[in-house]
């Protein structure tokens, strides 16, 4: 034990082990109530005391994460950001959180392991389609263009059409076609397949920016942010 963590009684050690057993990463007051058979007020005080002693670290109100015994500086220790990405600001990390319907999580997702936690992650094609669906999660349309440029250098472009069809947002195909043509990322056959799938109406190239700029009539987008083939950023 290091000097940054105070002692813990045998009873508390047993309770803490029960609460954080089986690889549980995050614990709440409700977990302590259910697992340790405590009243809610007692459970809240117990978790707060363990946090003061350095055995837990407070993630947000009512939620804590167990600090490894070998952590050199418990007060500054942080878990893998992917494991705790359940809110916008946790353990000094900021997250952009959005919600999608459960059926949209049934495809294009692969499992990865972070420590003992299995996390669903978008595969490369799904990641590109998602940022074309909502460019803000990719840092804006210019960063999305950089991601798309890297993607087409390493992956089959045709899968983007399949994923865009499954996602069901027509604006994805409009942005995809415009960017591929502007950045010279695709041949005529691919562009024709994109164009064949277009719906009526005009989409903003970057919905986070003001509605201004010229219209790309072929791709039915208002070009409110420009990218170039020589420098997409």
**CATH number of the structural domain spanning residue 86:** 1.10.10.10
Q: Which domain, by its residues, includes 200? A: 124-222
- Tell which of 76, 94, 112 closes a domain: 94
On whether both 90 and 138 belong to a single domain, the answer is: no
Query: Quick one: tokens of 148?
Result: 């798309």
pLDDT tens for each residue of the chain, 233 residues long: 343 455 667 788 888 888 887 667 788 899 999 999 999 999 999 999 888 888 888 877 888 888 775 444 445 445 545 445 546 555 555 555 566 656 666 676 777 776 666 677 778 999 999 999 999 888 899 999 999 999 999 898 899 999 999 998 999 999 999 999 999 999 999 999 999 999 999 999 999 899 999 999 999 999 999 887 665 44
On whether both 85 and 129 belong to a single domain, the answer is: no
Taking alpha carbons only, the member of 89, 211, 172, 85 closest to residue 224 is 211
On whether both 147 and 212 belong to a single domain, the answer is: yes
Domains held by the chain: number: 2
This prediction's pTM: 0.59
On whether both 86 and 130 belong to a single domain, the answer is: no
**Residues 127/112, Cβ–Cβ less than 8 Å:** no
- How many other β-carbons are positioned within 10 Å of the β-carbon of residue 154? 7
The string over 36-54, giving b where at least 16 C-beta atoms fall within 10 Å of a residue's C-beta and e elsewhere, is eebeeeebbebbeebbebb
What residues have CB less than 8 Å from 162, skipping those under 6 apart?
none
On whether both 137 and 203 belong to a single domain, the answer is: yes
On whether both 57 and 130 belong to a single domain, the answer is: no
Residue 104 in domain: no
On whether both 129 and 89 belong to a single domain, the answer is: no
CA dihedral sign, ordered 223, 200, 177, 135: positive
């Amino acid at each position: 034990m290091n000097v940054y963590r105070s002692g813990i009684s045998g009873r508390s050690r047993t309770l803490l082990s029960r609460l954080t057993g089986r690889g549980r990463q995050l614990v709440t007051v409700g977990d302590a109530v259910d697992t340790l058979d405590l009243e809610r007020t007692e459970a809240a005080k117990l978790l707060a005391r363990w946090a003061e002693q350095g055995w837990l670290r407070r993630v947000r109100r009512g939620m804590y994460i167990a600090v490894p015994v070998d952590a050199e500086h418990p007060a500054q220790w942080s878990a893998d950001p992917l494991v705790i990405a359940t809110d916008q600001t946790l353990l000094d990390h900021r997250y952009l959180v959005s919600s999608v319907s459960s059926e949209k999580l049934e495809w294009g997702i692969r499992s990865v392991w972070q420590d003992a936690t299995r996390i669903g992650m978008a595969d490369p094609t799904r990641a590109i389609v998602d940022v074309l669906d909502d460019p803000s999660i990719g840092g804006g349309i210019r960063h999305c263009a950089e991601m798309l440029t890297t993607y087409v250098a390493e992956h089959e472009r045709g899968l983007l059409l399949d994923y865009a069809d499954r996602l069901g947002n027509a604006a994805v195909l409009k942005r995809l076609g415009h960017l591929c043509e502007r950045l010279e990322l695709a041949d005529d056959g691919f562009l024709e397949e994109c164009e064949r799938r277009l719906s009526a109406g005009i989409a903003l190239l970057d919905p986070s920016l003001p509605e201004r700029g010229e219209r790309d009539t072929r791709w039915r987008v208002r070009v409110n942010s420009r990218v170039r083939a020589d420098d997409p950023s």
